Structure formats: C-alpha cells, structure tokens
Structure 1
Amino acid sequence: MRFTYYMLQKNFYTTLILLLLFSLQLSAQTKTLRGTVLEAGTKAPLPGVEAVLPSGESATTDGQGRFVLRANLAAERIVVSFQRASFSTQEVEVDLAGKTEVDLGAIEMAPQEDSGQFGSEDLIPTITISTDDIDGVGDQNISGVLTASRDVFVSAAAFVFGPARFRIRGYDSEQTTMLMNGIPVNDPESGQVYWSNWGGLNDVMRFRENSIGLDAVSYSFGGVGGASSFDTRASLQRKQVRLTYSLSNRTYRNRLMATYTTGPMAGGWAVSMSASRRWAQEGYIDGTSYDAWGYFLSVDKKLNEKHSLNLTAFGAPSKRGRSGASVEEMYDLADNKYYNPNWGYQNGEKRNARIANVHQPMAILRHDWQISEKTSLMTSAGYQFGRNGGTALDWYDARDPRPDYYRNLPSFAFDRQRDAIEELLRTSEAARQINWDYMYEVNRNNILSVENANGIPGNTVTGARSQYVVEDRRYDDKRLIGNTILQSNLNEHLTLNGGLTYIWHQGHDFKVLDDLLGGDFYLDVDKFAEFDSTANIDFIQNDVETPNRIVREGDVFGYDYNINIRQSAAWVQADFNYPRVDFFLGGNLGNTTFWRVGNVTNGKFPDNSGGASEKQRFPEYGVKAGFTYKIDGRNYLLLNGGYMTQAPSTREAFVSPRTRNDVAEGLDTRKILSVEGG
C-alpha cells in the first residue's frame, strides 16, 4: 500500500507539473518583432544595435539597420531596449495584445552628447557580432556577422605590423578597394592607397567600415583583399570643439590638432572643420626633418526628408626629409643602426638631399536620395589634383657624391689605404655624410662653353656648368571620379545592391631642376647614353627637338610624359538573409584603358617616345558568392569564393615609361581565384 500510495502521489505531482507547463506554453506564444534602426538626424541605417527583451533575448541589427526578433512572450505589453556604444539607449513600448507579429518601423537613436559617435572605448578597434541568448535560439532569427567600424586585426596589421611589411593574407593594398564618401581613392596607376593624403585628420576620419576578404559589402564589389569605406559627412561628426597637443619621439616630435563641429543645425545644415600640424626639426633618424599640415571642411545640407547634399574638401601638404637604406659596413662604421646617408652639413646646418614634398587635395560632392522607405541612391563626384614628388642628387661627368657608394668604402680600397679610410669614417661624422661644400666648389670652378645651345646654330653659352644638381622628381596627377550606389531592401529576406563607377585620370611624370648648387646652368643630356654611342649626337639628347638644351632652376628636363587612364565598372550584389542561413551572389563588369603620351622625343628612341602610344584595353569581370550557416548568436560557419580578372597597372605595363612607349610582351589581365572559409 505504501508503494502504491507513493507511486500515485508521484504520478499526481508529475501530471500537475506537466499540466502547468502546458498551460504556460499555451499562454506564451511565439511573437515576431521586426524593424529598422536609424541614426537620428542623418536617417542613416545603424548596424550593430542590440534589440534586447526584458527576458534577455536579443538580436543585432545588420548592415542595413534591420533586425528580426522572435521569442515566446506571454505579456501583452513589453519594453524593448535598443543599445549601442556611444549612443543613448532607446526604449520602445510594444503592445502585443492579440498580435503574433509587430513591425516597429523606424527607431531613431542619437549619439551621446558627451562621448559623440565614438566613445573612448571605440577608439580600440572591435568586431561586433550578434549576442543572441543561446537558450531558445532555435526560435530566433540570428543576425549575420557584422563588420565593425574598426577591426582589431585590421588595425594591428596596419599600425603595429605595418613597419615590418606585414600584409593581411599577403595582399598589397591594391587588392583592397578603398572609398571616401562613396568615391574610390585607390591610385589608378598603382592601385595603392596613399593614407598620407588625409594624414593628421584623425578627429574626422573615425567613421570607417572594414571588410576582409570576399565578404559581401553594401558599397562596393570589393577586391580579393576586401573593402573599406570612410564616411566624413558633417552630420555624422559629433558636436564638439576639440584642441589636442601631443608629443612623440618618432618621425615627428609635436602634433597639434583643432576640430570644430556644429552638429545638426536649424535649416538642415551641419558643418565640420579640422586642421592639424605635425612637425619636428629632426626625427629619431638624423637628418629627417618633418613638417606636415592637414585641413578638412565638410558641409551638409538636408534639403528635405528624401534628399541631402554633402561637400567635403581636405588635403595634407607635407614636406619631410627621407631616410635611406645603406650597407652593413656603413652601419658598423657609424656604430648606429639608424645611420642615414641622405644628409650632410651645409653652413653648419644639416641638409637632406632627399626631401619628399606632397600635396594632393581632394573635393567630393555627395547626394543621398531616399527614394522610398526601402530604396536609397547615393551619388558622388570627386576631383583630386596636386603634386607628389621628392628631390634627389644628379651628377654629370663627376664622381659619385653618395657617402656610402661602394667605391668610397674601406672594403673597396687597397690594403695600404683601407685602414686610413676606415679610421676616417669611424671618427668623422662629416666624412660619413654628403659633402655639400665639395659639390658647390666643383660647380663654381667648372667654366665651360656649350656650342649650338638649345639647338640654335651659333648660339654659344659660357658659364659655370653644374656637375652636381638637386632635381625634383615629380609624379603630379589630376583625377575625376564619379560613383553611384543603389541599395534596395526588396523584402525581409532579400537586399539588392549595385553601383556604377567612372574614373578619368591623367598622371604627369617629369623632373624639375631644383638647385644648381652654385652653378649657372645644367645640360639636358643622358650621361649613361654617352657610353653607348658617341657618333650620333642626338643619341644622348633627352629632347632631340631641343639638342644641347640649357637647363636652369625651375626648368623641366630629363623626361616628361603623361599616363592617361580611363576606368569604368558596374556591379550588382544580392544578399539573402534567413533565420539560419545567409548567402550572397555578386558580379561586376568593367574596362580599363590606358596609354602614354610623350611630351618630348628621346634621342635613344626617336620613333617611339614622343606623342601618344597605342591604347591598351583590358575588359574585366568578376563573380563571388558566399554562404553563412548560423549555429547560434555567437558561432557561425562561412564559405566564400570568388573569381575575378584585373587589368595590369601602368607601373607594371610600360617597359621604361621615362624613355619610350613600349609595353611588356604578353601583357594580359590577372586571373584571381580565391576560396575562404571559417
């Protein structure tokens, strides 16, 4: 009887518990909440926002600011909390009575006034992923992997490992597409990204999206290395007045930055301004002076609820003394691993022969059009121009002035001279550096007459013909870029992105005589060609149309040509998002055309150096696809693959662009096949 009573009692309690659980399950139905989170003021989609229920269940917005949250909810009324670092938390009360699905529409979040768009914690690069509660995850829509504004690995690779020439996956920067306010900023000639063009503007360059590899991004087809995008609109910058002074012991000693941002103002205006200077009389390497400035202006105008304009202009003029690599023998003689052979004393002051001087400002006009609640169009036009160059020594019919030239070292000398040379280089810093006084003396004493100067019969020029000069090797360019990007959320599962790009580029490569070093003129001839032919006087001329050309300070000489590039491309990408899987498919078509125009006729190649070369045309295409399986809110499996072609860069295509139009034989597009998973 006791056993029977115990079993009946146990079954009774078990049945009662099951009935209670069943009744609770009936009362708590699966509810679906969906919506879009926007940034207040700009109405831009806000990724990385957590939508959190009182029970702790959550979902994270995707790149378009969308979220879908499914959970078992019994209450008729709940409060959903929206949270993201550096933004004020937004709470929304939701009425669930009699509803199984609720569309919350657009939820706006404003940046915190005290911390701005980026708080101190955001200065540390992070990756943001979904934070769904593992319990009950089977009933939820799991957000895809999100790419944060600044990735810890990307930042470490760029700033920590960069000096060691580390490259993410071994790719150079030309394999990563970089955009600034919707404008591609990769250099068309090399494909490289020159970060110095916006150096010192840290305060206004914080809004950046990164993608590594073949992941889908909403603003570009991308390269095999990924894509990055800066957004410098004034309306995205936090309201601030900021003055910063920093000390450093590296390439520069001092940094001063000033930034002023109004935030959104009445009438739909917003303005952001920033300026900086970084300078040093000398860095940690001898002879490396540094003087770099930066300026930035961004103006926003919100025309109405659908249209807004932005104009951004920036530049970063810099002038710095370069360091140079040398041989181990000189490092040992100087007892200094930072030995720099590029400088020497002149009138008691250090003077560097290799001064980099760069200023390539850029202006971008951007128009954002919110066509409908689900479709937007961004169109940008940009123009960049300016100078990029650096000085170097040139000499004619004179000994090599470089202090670490192998013939000047003890290892090249005869035994009886070696010890004396070694002792001199060990004990005298001046002996290890450029001898400016010697070059001035040689030039002043080299009085010569040039007959038929400038190709004029009977024209004789007499004076101090410089044997040593400082030349400025220039790589100036101008570039016009147009780009448009369409984004449309066709339904809750499918987003379509696409774009068109056109680039007009003209590079101008030439040399300018910077300093005659005490002489009266220089002669524009090829010193190396004299060893190959002496019978034909035209052979040594850099410009056969003006033989025996007299060159003075400020004149162009040596070589002078243009590189013209025209690029066009179209791309489209479809992103599919479901509770357990995400996948995408994208493709692009493009064309690159380039040619050389010689502005002078070189004597070594009189029939193939002046005028326009044959145009080189390279059609390009690419496809990529990816699949992501979402195990839960913190664990994902992904597989991406892509195949694309890429036109050769002009730096690789021309055999010797300084002298002729020839291109390399068998020139063809690169074929790139990549598969990644994790």
Structure 2
Amino acid sequence: MKKELGLMSVLFCLTPALIAQNKVKKNVLEDNASFTFTESQLNEDDDVAQSNYALVTSNNDVYLSNVGYLFSPMRFRVRGLDSQYSEVFFNGVQFNDVETGRFSYGLIGGLNDATRNKEGISPFETNNFTFGAVGGSSNINMRASQYAPGSKLVFSACNRSYVARAMYTYSTGLMNNGWAFTGSFGYRWAEEGNIAGTFYNSFSYFLAAQKVFNERHSLSLATWGAPTERGQQGASTEEAYYLANSHYYNPNWGYQNGEKRNARVVNSYEPSAIATWDFDINKDMKLVTSAGFKYSSYGKSALGWGGNAADPRPDYYKKLPSSIFNVWNSVPTADELDQFNRVTDLWMNNESYRQIDWDMLYLANQKANATGKDALYYQEELHNDQLAFNLSSVFNHSLDKNHKYSAGIAFNATKGMHYKTMKDLLGATTYTDIDKFSVRDYGYGSSIIQNDLDNPNRRIGEGDRFGYDYDIHVYKESAWLRYEGKDAGLNYFVSGKIGSTQMFRYGNMRNGRAPLKSKGSSGTAKFLEGAIKAGIRYDFNGNHSISLNASYEDRAPLAYNAFIAPRIKNDFVKDLKTERILGGELSYNFTGSVVNGRITGYYMRFSNQVEMDAFYNDNESRFTYLSMNGIEKEHYGIEAAATVKLTSNLSLTGIATWSEAKYINNPDAVRTYESESESNVDRVYAKGMRLSGTPLSAYSLGLDYNIKGWFFNLTGNYYHRVYLDFSTYRRLESVLTKYSDGTVDANGNLVGVSVPEQEELDGGFMLDASIGKFIRLRDGKSLSINLSLNNILNNTNLRTGGYEQNRDDSYEDGSERVYVFSKNSKYYYAFPFNAFLNVGFRF
C-alpha cells in the first residue's frame, strides 16, 4: 500500500506536465444524484461482457436514461452490443482499452461523486466531444470548478459485492482568484460479500485543480485511481448447484487451517491523470484540448498444477456423481451405484468436500519436496498491465443560430504487458518453467517443452515470471468532422471520420513450440479506418418528431483478437481485415405535458469480425486457442419507452425492447494447441447462434411518486430470451465430422450432421423498489437518505448467463446422436434479494 500511495502522489505532481480539454461552465447546479446506485451494480469483472449503457445514458431519452440502471442485475446490453462498441471519455479524452475495446469500470470504482457530471449521447446524437460510436458515448467532466462547493459525506450499507462504503468529497468551487480545487476519497469493504468466499477491499481517490486565467483560457488537472483487491465468484453446473442446495455455490474457495481462502483473486490499480486546456476563442468558436495518461496494473490469480496431479477444482466433472457412470443411457452396476450414492452424500452434506482442499494441496507438495520433485500445485497470477497515453483536441464553431460544425483529432499510444508470475508455491520449494502438456507428448528431453529457450529448465520462485511474457503495442490516430443545421422544422447532420491503427506483438521469451517466431517483433499490421453517418429529424410541432439515421464504418480489428496464439508466437490471424459495420434507425419521438417517450426500430450488420477463444480442452487435455475470422452478424429490433404523468406527483414509466443479435454465417477458424507449433484450419458452425449473456427481450413497468421531499419507486421487470454462450469447439467441423461420413453440400456444409442447438434460458420476473427522503437544512446543508431494494420476491432461479464447457459430451442412441453437454454447462444467477442503504450529508 505504501508503494501505491507513493505512486498516487507522483502521478498528481506530474499532471501539469501533460498537455490538455472542455468548456468551463460558470454555474454549478446542486444534484440529488444520491438516489442513483448504478455503480453498486456494475460488474467490474473483465471476464464477463459488461453493459455498454451502464455509463452511456442520455438524460433526454426515456429509454436510455432508465435501462442502464433498471436492467443491470441481468447484465443487459442495449441492442446486444458488447461494451467495445461504446466510448467513455474524461474531459473529451477517450479512456477505452484499445486492446479489448472496452472501458474498465474499475478505473472509477467508488468515485460516484467525482463522476456525476457526465453527458451521454445515443449513437446518432450530436455533441461537442466525439464523432460517436455505434453503442453510444459518454463524457465525464472532471474540471474542479464544475463540482458544487462544500463538503459531502456519504455512508452506505448493502449486501452485494461489498457490504459497506464511505465517501468524502470537498470542493472549493470557483474562487475569486480563479482557482478551484476538488478532492474525493472513498472506501468499499466486505470481509465476505453476498456470495460465499468472496471479499472486497477497495480504496479510491480523486484530486483536481483548475485555474481560470480569464474569460478565454483555463487549465485543469485531475488524477484518480481505485486500488482494489477482491475475491471472485465462479460459475458452476446445475448438478453442482443442486448438490450444494444453492444457485450461489462458489467453487473458487476452500478452507485452509479453518479460514476461507479464494483461489481467484483480482488485484487491480489504474492510476490515471488528465490535463485540459479550454480556449474560448470568441463567443462562437471554442477549442478544447486534453491529454490523458493511464498505467493499469491488473492481476488475476488461479490454481495451476503439473505432472500427473489431479485437477484440484472441486466441481471438476470427474469429481461429480454423474461421472461415475453414464447416467444418460446406461444402467449402473452395484459398485457404481454404491459409489454414486457415497459421492452424492458427501457433496450434499459435507461443505468442505465441495470446496477446494487447500490442506491436501499443501500435503501433496510436501511429499513432492521430500523426493526432490517440483511443485504439483501452485497459485499463479495472470497479469494484463497497460501503459496508455491519449491526446484529443476538438474545435466547435457556431456559424449562426441554425448552423454549426465540429471537428476533432485524437491520438492514442498503448503498450499492453502480458505475463504470468508465481504467486504462491503452496509449500513447495521449486518449480521448473516448462510446458506440462508438451512434456506428456514429447518427453523431458525435447526443446519443445521449454517456455523460455534462452533459459532452459529455469527454476523459479514466488514472484518470478514464467510461462509467457509478451507486449502488445497499439497506435491509433483519427480525425472527424460534423456539420449540423436546421431549417423550417427540419434538423439534419452529416459527419465523417478517417483514421488508422497500427499494432504489433513483441515477445520477451523464446518459446520452444515456436522458436523462430515467438521472441522479438511480429512486424506491424496497419489498418485504414473510416466512417460516415448522417441523419434527419422533422419536427411536426413542438411535441412530435420523426428521425432517420444511417451509418457505415470500417473499424480496425482489436489487438486482443488479432493474434492466433499470442502467449506462444507472433502470428497474426490470416487475412486480417477491417470490420465493417452498417447501421440505421428510424424513431418517432413524442413530448408533452402528460406523455413523453419514443419508439425506435434499428438494424445493424457486422462483417469481417474476428474473435478468439482460449480454453482448456478437457477432451484432449491441453490448452487450446481458437481464432475465428470472417464472422458476420445481424442485430435488429424495436425499442419503446414512455412516461405518463398521472398526477402532479405520480408518474408511470413503461419500457420494452425486443431484439435479435445472431451469427449469420459459419466462419473460418484456426485451432492451435499450446503444446504444438502447428495450427489447424477449421470451420465453426455458428450460423443462427445468438449473442449471449444479455436478455434479448426485456420489459419494465414502474411507478414513481414524490411529495414534500419524499421519493418512492416500485418497478417490475421481466426478462426473456437469454442465451447461453455456445462452445465454438463443440461446433468445429473437425469435431462434427466424427459423426458423419465427411460429405459436404454445395455450400461446404456437412451433410447428415445436426449442429447442437444453443440453450435458451428461462425468462423471469424481478420486482424492485426504492424509498428516499431529501431534507434541506439550515445554511445550505442537506441530508439525503435512500433505501433501494432489488429482487424483492427473491427469485433465485433467474439465470443471467453462462457458458457451455468445451467438451464433446454426446452418445449414440440407436441411429441418432444425442447431445447431453447442456447438462454440463455452467451458469450465473441474478443476485437474490438485496438492499442498498445510502445516507448523504452535504455541508
């Protein structure tokens, strides 16, 4: 912690050296945002796709201003889009991770008050800070002068990922000498969260200073971070949930000396800083220039094992009762039935049996020590660190009251550092840096088994790097221009963007499976990007309008997906191209004294997409990379929302969305095993598979009532059409061919083989409510109290998603092949009944 605090101080002192971005507003309005708790429901795990509208919301849109919070317990993604298709800016500088495309919510965890001043726009909404992304954009204003002067103290209690939170924020406001200062600090904690074995320990800070030199110039500096340590929850199978008698069984922990210990722990810290120069050239022309810096330290631990050691995961399929005999189509022997009953009894009645046996892992390593052997079990930490610099400059010019244009340039330079370290040898004294899967195939004498050929058979200790070590470098440049006008009820805009992306891998280890192309540079892949969008809106009168928007974009592939097997070698995906995105929407908007809302129909088509899966292949007992190229998808649907003011104090809000998001072709694939140097060309039968982990249909009806400072809300939400993440391995042509004679049709598809269907999860209902009171005290002080209740009916059967395991589980039933691997899929469930109490005091 001393090291982290020192880094915070250094970063803040260095911020003036950065160059600078947005307009200084002279009036700061008091907000009552204590009544929103979106942050408390944000999923911060990088291994689960995140809601792209949790931060990207539009205050002027009934639909977008509600769905990010209302549907967040189900990880809802607007239009089925992953968060890589939305943008998050700070003072006009984009902070998305350019490798994955996503924004890390952990970057601002616990900084609710510091990030309240934000502008959200929909995909075709005009603005003054960006061209705009297909998933929408948001800009968080971190200028010190924009925070309400005074102090604010917040205390929260809940039964979610953390159980307690405290925040303190102080701002001077803009003083007579032209200076403004703001600071915010927070802490979130749980010895154990609402899921057994999880914990939470997070500190957050925000410091900002601004100098307004005169009416034309101001300079602002800000730095922030949220060092966090948290234990993770793991998904499991329905069999394990049934035996544990809970849908919240967590296989990631176990007892060690009577204390709970989690094997999967995330440590993250992303100290960031921005500098912004606001230049009001005149009343019609404004220039905003910003520079941003981020150093991300992210590590996630996991159990590892070598040699002939048994899999230590408690819910590994061979440890479950169903593995004792084929429960789907065979009759057990007396011995099998006896063993089945014994294991079932242990699972159901002995908690320690269904958790990680840490004491056994230490004992196994002690026995290995006695014979001079390597560690059989260990805890490794996978690091994805990153150093990023961003620069942005935006010019806005109002030609007259009806016509204006905006132009901007942006630059990003990112170095992603990916490596693995030995976190804990679990009582062992030695470990050799070789690949355990290659040893099985080639023996100890082969150079192929070496993870680092330049240091063969290297003995490593705790804290040492091993396994893999490589960097990904990405450089992005772009420029955009937008023109807006209105005339006689007709509003229109047209905008264009051009840019480029360069990326390369630099290996720091010479791998034995790819000795000639693992160390050093991969060479640079270059992509030219461009986009155009246009829209018109016709206002029939002050209350009704119809709008039509369309866009086309060529987008560089993400560096995360661009390499076939990045831990091993430098090879790019074959025939790597820019992704093409074609989209459009038609909306009817209505606004009145009683009713306001909109209805929208949209369509998007994605071509030339690239996706990469990395997983342990249970069938073949080796780690596998599967890279798909040339993916095509369609997203389309209808969004509708309306608020009806029933009385001066009571309003009714209805929201509905029906969407489709699916693969429309069978993409080519390249399969690479970590224990081999060669790759195999294949095909994935993905056509018709839906995007997973989000409800494709969701409906909400809510009542809001307020009177004399009291706020009441009751909302019912229904979720439908949630699909399980399908296994690409199970739909590989080479896997399916085992059940056919190899005959293909004119389109190259296998004849006589049914592709396994994707599992659709059951829909479900969730009832939420909140009650709050805002109290104005003397001398400008105020007190706000809010209690938020989620899943009041305690629906514990509502699945938020999950995934198929990468095993080919099927059997022959006469002439028919029956797929039973849906029984072995792993699921996530929505939190049971939970509450969040928030008390804020402003003084």
TM category (shorter chain) comes to: 0.7 to 0.9
**Aligned-partner residue type, residue 260 of structure 1:** Y
TM-score after normalising by structure 2: 0.62
Q: Kindly report which structure 2 residues correspond to 1:205-354, keeping only aligned pairs within 5 A, or say none.
A: 205-354=115-264
**Structure 2 SS opposite 1:554:** coil
State the Cα distance separating 1:493 from its structure 2 match: 1.9
Q: Distance in 1 between matches of 2:71 and 2:574?
A: 36
Kept in 1: contact 2:425–2:461 (CA 8 A): yes
State the Cα distance separating 1:301 from its structure 2 match: 0.4
| Alignment CA distance shift 1:484-1:546 (3 Å) | same
**Structure 1 SS opposite 2:346:** helix
**2:413 matched to which residue of 1?**
504
Kept in 2: contact 1:583–1:625 (CA 8 A): yes
Which is worse superposed, 631-640 or 335-344? 631-640
Q: Distance in 2 between matches of 1:288 and 1:487?
A: 48
| Alignment CA distance shift 1:275-1:569 (3 Å) | same
Q: Kindly report which structure 2 residues correspond to 1:445-464, keeping only aligned pairs within 5 A, or say none.
A: 445-447=367-369, 463=372
State the Cα distance separating 1:494 from its structure 2 match: 1.3
Q: Distance in 1 between matches of 2:227 and 2:380?
A: 20
**1:565 matched to which residue of 2?**
474
**Aligned-partner residue type, residue 381 of structure 2:** D
State the Cα distance separating 1:352 from its structure 2 match: 0.1
**Structure 1 SS opposite 2:561:** helix
**Structure 1 SS opposite 2:551:** strand
**Aligned-partner residue type, residue 31 of structure 2:** F
Kept in 2: contact 1:394–1:468 (CA 8 A): yes
State the Cα distance separating 1:154 from its structure 2 match: 3.1
Q: Distance in 1 between matches of 2:225 and 2:36?
A: 23
State the Cα distance separating 1:361 from its structure 2 match: 1.2
Kept in 2: contact 1:357–1:388 (CA 8 A): yes
- TM-superposition CA deviations, 1:572-627 (whole Å, max 9, x none): 10111234111111000000000000000110111111110021111000111111
Match of 1:674 among 583, 596, 609: 583
Match of 1:408 among 319, 342, 345: 319
State the Cα distance separating 1:121 from its structure 2 match: 9.5
Q: Distance in 1 between matches of 2:339 and 2:200?
A: 39
**Structure 2 SS opposite 1:418:** helix
Q: Distance in 2 between matches of 1:502 and 1:548?
A: 43
State the Cα distance separating 1:217 from its structure 2 match: 2.0
Q: Kindly report which structure 2 residues correspond to 1:69-80, keeping only aligned pairs within 5 A, or say none.
A: none
State the Cα distance separating 1:117 from its structure 2 match: 3.4
Matched, 1:421 2:343: yes
- TM-superposition CA deviations, 1:544-588 (whole Å, max 9, x none): 111111010010001000000000000010111234111111000
**2:361 matched to which residue of 1?**
439
**2:5 matched to which residue of 1?**
none
Matched, 1:153 2:67: no
Matched, 1:365 2:365: no
Match of 1:642 among 551, 575, 579: 551
- TM-superposition CA deviations, 1:440-460 (whole Å, max 9, x none): 1111111378xxxxxxxxxxx
Match of 1:117 among 30, 40, 62: 30
**Aligned-partner residue type, residue 286 of structure 1:** A
**Structure 1 SS opposite 2:363:** helix
State the Cα distance separating 1:465 from its structure 2 match: 2.4
Matched, 1:475 2:384: yes
Kept in 1: contact 2:385–2:417 (CA 8 A): yes
Kept in 1: contact 2:97–2:103 (CA 8 A): yes
Kept in 1: contact 2:33–2:116 (CA 8 A): no
**Structure 1 SS opposite 2:574:** coil
**Structure 1 SS opposite 2:298:** strand
Matched, 1:175 2:85: yes
Q: Distance in 1 between matches of 2:558 and 2:435?
A: 27
TM-score after normalising by structure 1: 0.77
**1:627 matched to which residue of 2?**
536
Kept in 2: contact 1:466–1:522 (CA 8 A): yes
State the Cα distance separating 1:631 from its structure 2 match: 1.2
**Structure 1 SS opposite 2:557:** coil
Which is worse superposed, 616-625 or 218-227? 218-227
Kept in 2: contact 1:545–1:601 (CA 8 A): yes
**Aligned-partner residue type, residue 467 of structure 2:** G
Runs of 4+ that moved beyond 6 A: none
Kept in 2: contact 1:279–1:290 (CA 8 A): yes
Kept in 2: contact 1:211–1:227 (CA 8 A): yes
**Structure 2 SS opposite 1:411:** helix
Q: Distance in 1 between matches of 2:33 and 2:470?
A: 49
| Alignment CA distance shift 1:151-1:436 (3 Å) | farther
| Alignment CA distance shift 1:121-1:554 (3 Å) | closer
Q: Distance in 2 between matches of 1:344 and 1:644?
A: 49
**Structure 2 SS opposite 1:379:** strand
State the Cα distance separating 1:45 from its structure 2 match: 8.1
Q: Distance in 1 between matches of 2:35 and 2:424?
A: 48
Q: Distance in 1 between matches of 2:111 and 2:288?
A: 24
**Structure 2 SS opposite 1:446:** helix
Matched, 1:549 2:458: yes
**Aligned-partner residue type, residue 499 of structure 2:** G
State the Cα distance separating 1:120 from its structure 2 match: 5.6
- TM-superposition CA deviations, 1:11-41 (whole Å, max 9, x none): xxxxxxxxxxxxxxxxxxxxxxxxxxxxxxx
**Structure 2 SS opposite 1:117:** coil
**Aligned-partner residue type, residue 117 of structure 1:** E
Match of 2:437 among 513, 519, 528: 528
Q: Distance in 2 between matches of 1:380 and 1:410?
A: 59
Which is worse superposed, 160-169 or 643-652? 160-169
Which is worse superposed, 500-509 or 178-187? 178-187
**2:740 matched to which residue of 1?**
none
| Alignment CA distance shift 1:123-1:324 (3 Å) | closer
| Alignment CA distance shift 1:218-1:296 (3 Å) | same
| Alignment CA distance shift 1:218-1:469 (3 Å) | same
**1:603 matched to which residue of 2?**
512
- TM-superposition CA deviations, 1:156-199 (whole Å, max 9, x none): 43333234232111211111122111110111001111111101
**Structure 2 SS opposite 1:447:** helix
| Alignment CA distance shift 1:642-1:635 (3 Å) | same
**1:617 matched to which residue of 2?**
526
Which is worse superposed, 249-258 or 157-166? 157-166
List gaps (5 residues or longer) in structure 2: 1-20, 39-56, 325-335, 588-843
Which has the greater radius of gyration?
1
Kindly, what percent of the aligned residue pairs are identical? 39
Q: Distance in 1 between matches of 2:24 and 2:405?
A: 15
Q: Distance in 1 between matches of 2:60 and 2:298?
A: 29
Q: Distance in 2 between matches of 1:633 and 1:349?
A: 65
> With CA pairs under 8 Å and 6+ residues apart, which has the higher RCO, 1 or 2?
2
Matched, 1:576 2:489: no
- TM-superposition CA deviations, 1:395-431 (whole Å, max 9, x none): 0011100000111111112333111111111110000
**1:58 matched to which residue of 2?**
none
| Alignment CA distance shift 1:121-1:615 (3 Å) | closer
Q: Distance in 2 between matches of 1:438 and 1:403?
A: 12
Kept in 1: contact 2:91–2:143 (CA 8 A): yes
Match of 2:574 among 665, 668, 673: 665
CA RMSD in angstroms comes to 2.0
